[in-house]
Chains A and B, each alone.
Chain A
C-alpha cells in the first residue's frame, strides 16, 4: 500500500512538472502578455517597467526555475491580471464550479438511474426504446447549442428560471455556496441540466446494462419467487447492485465534468473556474493557466486514488500491486 502510494505520488509529481513546463513554454510562444495588458497609450518605458515588475524581462529558463522554486513552497505565482496569488484567484472561483458539477452529477443520477433501470427491466417496451433513442440523441447534441435552447425555452419563453449568472450565495463553513438559497437554486438549475446532459446518457446506459444483467440472475428470480413486490425487488436488490459501477464511473468522470463545465460556464455566464480559464487564456495570464492545470492534476490524482481505495474496500480481490503497474 505504501509502495503504491509513493509510486502514485511520484508519478503525479512527474506529470505536474512536465505539464507546467509545457504550458510555460507554450504560453511564452503565443505572445507577450504585456502587449495585451498595457494601455495603448503606454510608452516604451512604461512597458519595460511592467515587464520588469511581472518578471517577464528574465529569460524563459530563469522564469521557469523561479516558478519551480516558488511551486515547491506552494506559491504558484501571482496573476498578471489580478495581481493576486494565482491559486487564491482560482480557489475563489472554485466553489461556483464545484457546486455546478455536483448539481450536474446529482441530476445525472436522479434522472439517469430510474430511466436506465426502466429501460433495462422493460427492455422490449416502446417507452424503453424511446428512452434509449433519447439518450443517443442527448449524447449527440452539442452542449452549447442545448444551453441556448434551454435558455430560450425556460428563461425567455416560459420565464420560469433566470437565464444566466449565479444567484445569491450563503456562507457555508466559510465557503460561499448558492445552492442553499432560493435564488441560487433557481439560477443553477439550467446550467446544471446542461452540464448533466452527457452524463445522463451515460448513467442511463450503465443502469440499463446493469439492470439487464442482474434481472436474469438467480437472486432476483429467487426474490421474485418468494413473492416480493416488484418495487421492492428493484429498490432493494437491483439498485444495490448497480450503484457500485455507476458511482465508480461517475467518480472517474467527475474530473471531466469539472473540465467540460468550461462550455456551460461560457453559455450561462457562470462565474466559475472554466470562465476564468478561458479569459486567462485569451489574456495570456500564465500563472492562472498553469495553476489551473496543476489544480486539475491534483483533483484527478485525488479522484483516481479515492476510487482505487474504495474499490479495494468493496472488492478485496483487487490488489494494489496489480494496479500499480
Chain B
C-alpha cells in the first residue's frame, strides 16, 4: 500500500514536472476555469454521443409527425413518446434537436477552426521563414482578407456556395485562416532572428526541418489560445449566418438556427422553442470563452503579471 502510494506520488510528481503538467496544474487552480472545463466536457460528450443518447433522430423526417407539433415540455406525443423539452412546429423533440444542434454547432466551430489553424499556420510559417516574394504574395492575400469583417466575407461566400454544414465550415475556414497566418508570421520573423535558428542554419539543416522542428513548437502555445477563443467566435458567427438565412439547412438545424426558428414563438409564450436552445448555446459559449481566457493566462507568460 505504502509503496504503491509512494510510487503514485512519484508518478504525479513526474507528470506535473512536464511543461504540460505544469500548465494543467495552474489551469485547474482556478475554480471557475475548472467548472467551465467540466461543463465543456459534458457538452462535448453530449454532442459526440447525440445519436446514442438522443431520444429521437430529429433529422429523420419520417420519424416526425406534425400532429405532435408545438407540444410544451413533458408532453406525451401521439405514439406515447415523452417530449421532455417539448416539440417544435414539425413535432421534432427539442431535447434531441438541441443535442444534434450542439453537434452541428460544435463541429462547425471545431472543424473550421482546426483547418483554419493548420492552413493558416502553414502559410504563416512559409511566409515568415522564406521571406522575399513568397512572403509578399501571401501577406497581400492576408491583407485582402483582413481588410474585411469576417461576417461580410462569410455572407458573400455563403450566398455563392448555398446552404449546408460543409459550406459553412468552408466559409469559416476562409474567413479565419489569415488571422493565424498574420500571428504566426510575426512570431516566425522574431524566431528566425534568434540564435537557435541561426545555429540550425549553420548546421545546414533543411528549411523544412527548421520550420517544423524548431520554429513550430515555439509559436504554438499562443496560437492554441487564439484557436480556442476562435472556436467560440466561429460558433457565434455560424449562429448569426443561420439567422440571416445563409447558414445550415433547415432540416439539420444548428443551435443558432433553432433559436432563430423558435424566436417567433416567444410572442405566444411557447418559450421552449427558443429558450432551451438559447441556454445551450449560451453555456457552450461561456464555457469556451472562460476556458480560453484561463488558457491564455496559463500559456502566455506576458499576461500572467
CB of A142 within 8 A of CB of B259, answer yes
**Interface flag for A259 (CB, 8 Å):** yes
A19-B148, A259-B149 are contacts. A145–B263 as well, Cβ < 8 Å? Answer: yes
**Residue numbers in B under 8 Å from A300 (CB-CB):** 147-148
CB of A11 within 8 A of CB of B143, answer yes
Size category of the A interface is: 35 or more
The 7 A-B residue pairs with the shortest CB-CB distance in the complex, in nearest-first order: A140-B285, A259-B149, A26-B160, A256-B149, A144-B243, A140-B286, A142-B239
**Residue numbers in A under 8 Å from B64 (CB-CB):** none
| Residues of B in contact with A (beta carbons under 8 Å apart) | 140, 143-144, 147-149, 151-152, 155-157, 159-160, 232, 236, 239-240, 243-245, 256, 259-260, 263, 266-267, 274, 278, 281-282, 285-286, 289-290, 293
CB of B260 within 8 A of CB of A140, answer no
Of chain B, the residue at the smallest CB distance from A141 is: B282
**Can you give 24 A-B contacts (C-beta < 8 A)?**
A15-B143, A15-B144, A18-B144, A27-B159, A136-B286, A136-B290, A139-B289, A141-B282, A142-B236, A142-B243, A142-B278, A144-B259, A152-B266, A258-B149, A259-B149, A262-B155, A263-B151, A277-B155, A278-B155, A278-B244, A281-B159, A293-B148, A293-B152, A297-B147
Mark contacts of A144-162 with chain B using CB atoms, 8 A cut-off: 1 yes-contact digit, 0 otherwise.
1100100010001000000
CB of A301 within 8 A of CB of B156, answer no
User: Helix, strand, loop or mixed for chain A's interface?
Assistant: helix
CB of B289 within 8 A of CB of A136, answer yes
User: Helix, strand, loop or mixed for chain B's interface?
Assistant: helix
A11-B140, A18-B144, A259-B149 are contacts. A145–B155 as well, Cβ < 8 Å? Answer: no
Most buried by B among A27, A145, A258: A145
A287-310 interface with B by 8 A CB criterion: 289, 293, 296-297, 300-301
CB of A281 within 8 A of CB of B148, answer no
CB of A143 within 8 A of CB of B240, answer yes
Of chain A, the residue at the smallest CB distance from B140 is: A14
**Interface flag for A77 (CB, 8 Å):** no
A140-B232, A140-B282, A142-B256 are contacts. A259–B151 as well, Cβ < 8 Å? Answer: yes
A136-B290, A256-B149, A260-B151 are contacts. A19–B240 as well, Cβ < 8 Å? Answer: no
Complex CA–CA separation, A19 to B239 (angstroms): 25
Cβ of A124 to closest chain B Cβ, rounded Å: 15
CB of B240 within 8 A of CB of A142, answer yes
**Interface flag for A231 (CB, 8 Å):** no
Complex CA–CA separation, A137 to B124 (angstroms): 33
